[in-house]
């Protein structure tokens, strides 16, 4: 499943905050950009001797595997957590 929500939490000694960003609103823009760039990317893939269908399938698998991604960075000064749901 594609990620639909990103939760970003930032904490530091003076306080912190959390942002809930709806990632699902970006997918129509990404799809439109993909349609515009697909002829160019297909030409580049064919020129390099690659299968454009396999490349598109790999990109689809990459996007669909992003759901559940958790990135956490901690330092003495601050802590950042990014979670894709």
29-58 mean pLDDT: 95
Cα–Cα distance between 75 and 13 in angstroms, integer? 11
In this predicted model, what pLDDT tens digit does every residue of 1-12 receive, in sequence order? Answer: 889 999 999 999
Q: Which pLDDT does position 1 carry in this prediction?
A: 83
The dihedral built from the CA positions of residue 54, 57, 63 and 67, taken in this order, carries a sign that is negative
Kindly give the residue spans of alpha helices, DSSP state H, lying in the chain. Answer: 27-47, 52-64
Which residues, 6 or more positions from 85, have their beta carbon under 8 angstroms from its beta carbon?
A: 3, 4, 5, 6, 7, 67, 68
């Amino acid at each position: 499943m594609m990620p639909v929500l990103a939760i970003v939490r930032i904490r530091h000694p003076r306080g912190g905050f959390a942002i809930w960003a709806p990632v699902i609103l970006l997918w129509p823009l990404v799809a439109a950009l993909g349609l515009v760039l697909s002829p160019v990317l297909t030409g580049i893939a064919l020129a390099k001797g690659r299968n454009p269908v396999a490349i598109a399938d790999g990109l689809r698998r990459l996007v669909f595997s992003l759901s559940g991604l958790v990135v956490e960075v901690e330092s003495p000064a601050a802590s950042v957590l990014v979670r894709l749901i």
